[in-house]
Amino acid sequence: MIINSTELQNNFGKYLMLAAQEEIIITRNGTEIAKLTAFKDTPAENPINTVQEKAPEYSYGGKKASYEEFLQIHQETEERMEYIDGEIYWLASPKTAHQIVITELFGFFFNFFQGTKCRPMVAPYDIELRRSPENINIVQPDIMIICDLEEKLNENDYYKGVPSLVVEVLSKGTRRKDMIQKLDLYMSCGVNEYWIVNPDNKELTVYLFEDHEIGNYVTYKNNEAAKSYIFEGLSVEISRIFKI
């Protein structure tokens, strides 16, 4: 979870309890400055308790790459990949639960946006997001709602805008990337709403981004219905999207 320093100061007790369940990154002016995490007892036989995360399998060589290097690799292979903050991530083939969630959600979106200018799209579909003119990122969200498709298509039929709403379905290999790196990327680059779906615990969290910060968020589960902040009337029953 990522929150800004003002939100932490105003609700410290709340986030102190949440830290027992998940790591909380604190930002100031969009920059990560601190981490709030649960304290764990140190084993007697190991007085220095150092936790080192295994290098993710989806990482390209565990090394940074220039945007030009990414483009060359991207053009020479049929493998799906993303490029985030100077690093290439290979995208593994999704599992069944992941695909069922996407199929169900896309059905809801397709019916809701019929007859409007907004279009639901599914991966693989490259989205270019720029933190700055030099910091170019290429991602493939699981689902995205695009409301300016015709206006932002270039001469090569590539979309060059920013989706209004983005959905990512978590998996073991992408959990950290989706919940931290992508959340910050989407928030920083103008996405208005971000849905994170967790098939393991059958929860869906909806984030509202305002002025490049988290304006609000809520987690839905069980027999609840997830509701969009930015699209009035858009509601998805949690029990309908988790079939397994």
Residues 233 and 126 in one domain: yes
Tally of structural domains, the chain? 2
Residue 83 lies in a domain: no
- Answer yes or no: pTM beyond 0.85: no
Residue 48 lies in a domain: no
Residues 2 and 113 in one domain: no
Alpha helix segments (H runs only) across 125-237: 175-176, 182-188
For 74, half-sphere exposure in the C-beta direction (CA atoms, 13 angstrom radius) is 21
Distance (Å, whole) CA 91 – CA 88: 10
Residues 164 and 99 in one domain: yes
pLDDT value at position 48? Answer: 32
Give ∠ CA 40-46-51 in degrees, rounded to 5: 50
Per-residue model confidence as pLDDT tens digits over 187-215: 999 999 999 999 999 999 999 999 999 99
Residues 111 and 9 in one domain: no
Distance (Å, whole) CA 151 – CA 158: 11
pLDDT value at position 130? Answer: 95
Bond from prior residue into 199 cis (ω within 30 degrees of 0): no
**CATH code at position 212:** 3.90.1570.10
Distance (Å, whole) CA 32 – CA 179: 14
Mean per-residue pLDDT pooled into runs of 10, the chain (244 residues): 75 60 79 74 38 38 77 87 91 88 95 96 95 94 96 93 97 86 95 96 95 95 95 94 80
Residue 6 lies in a domain: yes
Residue 11 lies in a domain: yes
pLDDT value at position 34? Answer: 81
Residues 105 and 192 in one domain: yes
**C-beta atoms surrounding 133 within 10 Å:** 6
pLDDT value at position 199? Answer: 92
Residues 31 and 123 in one domain: no
**CATH code at position 21:** 3.40.1620
Residue 49 lies in a domain: no
Domain extent at residue 24: 1-40
Asked whether 198 and 172 are in contact (CB, 8 A), the reply is: no
Asked whether 166 and 193 are in contact (CB, 8 A), the reply is: yes
Give ∠ CA 225-228-234 in degrees, rounded to 5: 70
Residues 34 and 152 in one domain: no
